[in-house]
Chain A
Amino acid sequence: MRFLSEFRDPSLANAWVRRIEAHLSGLQAPLPIMEFCGGHTHAIFRYGLHQILPSAIEWVHGPGCPVCVLPRAAIDLACTLAQDPAVILASFGDAVRVPGSSGSLLSAKAQGGDVRIVYSPLDALEIARRHPEREVVFLAIGFETTQPATALTILQAEREGIANFSVLCRHVITEAAIRAVLADPDVRLAGVIAPGHVATVLGANAFAFIPKEYRIPTVVSGFEPLDLLQALCLLLGQLAAGRCALDNQYRRSVRPQGNLAAQKAIAQVFEPIGSAEWRGLGRLPASGVRIKERYGRFDAERRFGVTAQTVEEEPLPCSQVLCGKLKPKACPYFGTRCHPEQPLGALMVSSEGACAAWYRYQGE
């Protein structure tokens, strides 16, 4: 398949590994490299990059999986809405198994709630068109990559005057989570691999603050094996040359300023909120968005007069894993009480969660 299989060529991958090895000779091991995005985490394990790379490269898996950072209170609220017989609750597939305080959306469905899995918020809007007698609520999660889709859907619903569609907005902001991790004195990194699809929307320049303020070399990367190996090579090249800058490996999709139309849609529909709750990271400043007053009738919380209740997060080692301080396998629950069939924590739920990826692909 074009623009995919070319980037999975084993002989080219091996050539890149050799270049990486050559770069390493002048550098002091270990080199902890954080890939922020869960998509990168998944790719590293799926393609076995951690196995073919020299052991000096130490992957630190960051918190960039929106499913994994979704707080229990948000799931509880979605479950409450799903129990209303008038409501069809539409969600991305990854989110339905995330455990809330007393079950997941999947268990709400088992108890009779009308929970439907959609690929796109546009599909949720289509359900609303087909069922004018029902209320369709879309559970909107994700970073800036996903925000344009939700924003465009709300704008489309407004244009068509669709009165039975609303959004439970739990979108979050990438920069806030990166800052929270980098500000932690226990997290020491030689380099950062920045998320290529967030950068597709916001622009590569959105990550210039990492080398500038935190003095960590950073490379925006694509998601195929050759992308990640090239990105790693660029990072090591910076380290070898004593540079600390932002490079963009994923230029086939990422422009310096990003996608302006997508940014415009986000700015039109959403506004930043003071702080938002993250599973495993706690409350982070400037880390979430809500739907603007102007589009308030598409905001499920305003529409149904419901708000999330504060719930105590379980005292699991997840937050340590989420910040890269604890390897998944070092967690006492890993593979015993916590596994993909019955996840205790959200990192075991999504295939992009560090724990689920370790479990599936045998991290070490």
Chain B
Amino acid sequence: MCLGVPGKIVAITDPERQLGAVDIGGVRREVNLSCVLEEGERLQDLIGEWVVVHVGVALSRIDQEAALWLDALPE
């Protein structure tokens, strides 16, 4: 139920409602981006970012460096 899936933000679809299109494994889905927008950042700047999506809301930006720990443990 707390399933979160990684996806890439590919477009901003509704700036007023802070919605963008996220590509999740080839499927595009409209997602609320308000929780991953940093202060002073524009929605447009989010395009290309990878996020974890849960029930239509992006809950975190994927830290790509931390995602490289496939063969080693975090310090």
Contact = CB atoms under 8 A, between A and B. Distances in A.
A233 B72 CA distance: 10
B65 to A, nearest CB: 8
A100 interface: no
Given A1-B25, A198-B2, A251-B74, A148 B50 contact: no
A337 interface: no
Given A142-B2, A146-B2, A197-B4, A265 B35 contact: yes
Interface stretch (A118-126, A289-297, A319-327): A118-126
B6 A200 contact: no
Contacts of B35: 148, 152, 259, 261-262, 265
Interface string B25-40: 1100110101111000
A149 B70 contact: no
Interface residues of A, number: 58
B55 A2 contact: no
Contacts, number: 133
Nearest to B74: A251
A2 B71 contact: no
Interface stretch (A6-14, A55-63, A75-83): A6-14
B1 A152 contact: no
A261 B1 contact: no
B74 A249 contact: yes
Interface string A73-95: 00000000000000000001010
A261 B37 contact: yes
Given A4-B6, A4-B25, A253-B62, A146 B1 contact: yes
Nearest to A5: B25
Given A92-B1, A226-B70, A261-B35, 9 more contacts: A2-B6, A66-B1, A145-B59, A149-B32, A152-B57, A197-B3, A197-B59, A201-B59, A352-B1
